[in-house]
Amino acid sequence: MAVKRVLQYGEKSLREPSKEVHKVSKKIHELVQDLLDTMYAKNGVGMAAPQIGVNYRVFVVDVSKNDEPLNPHVFINPKIIKKSGAVIAQEGCISFPEAYTDVKRYSNVTVKALDINGRAFILEAKDGELLSRAIQHEYDHLDGILFIDHCVNRFETDKVLAEHNLPPVEPEKLADDSELDKELNK
């Protein structure tokens, strides 16, 4: 389909919750292809529909390495049904060009979603691997939550954002990561 313009941090619709998909139609197929085209063009590992200004509960992830064949996963109306463990890792986002900061994520997640053909599937991502973190990152986009909302240190994150001419962290948007904090302090 096409490489779309990626919304940048500060643009309003990145903070808006997305609507459920009622039918995996031709329009949704085109949206998925646009997400994949845009993600690959920007060298990303994930892309959510809100990042291209379409507030539907759809995202794509491909964590294949340079020497591996492409292996995209499509998630329509995803729900994280199980989560455990905790990990801190550097994250970035195509909507935050070149800005990276440490964030808290669950190590293990199980997600239930529809695939591109409208068939339900369940996928388990474990051990804090990139797939697990990418699923959580893209899933958050569907609820208007951004990776910086899970930052380990708000002030360090503000400094990184300022270096890239991006607005600071919105303190009222910071996630309640008390469950993650408990896991990290075990």
Question: Which residues are part of the catalytic machinery?
Answer: 138
Contact present, 31 and 68 (Cβ < 8 Å)? no
Distance CA 30, CA 21 (A): 13
The DSSP H or E segment spanning 81 is strand 73-84
Contact present, 113 and 79 (Cβ < 8 Å)? yes
Q: Dihedral sign for Cα 84, 20, 134, 71, please.
A: positive
- The pairing of beta strand 73-84 with beta strand 58-61: antiparallel
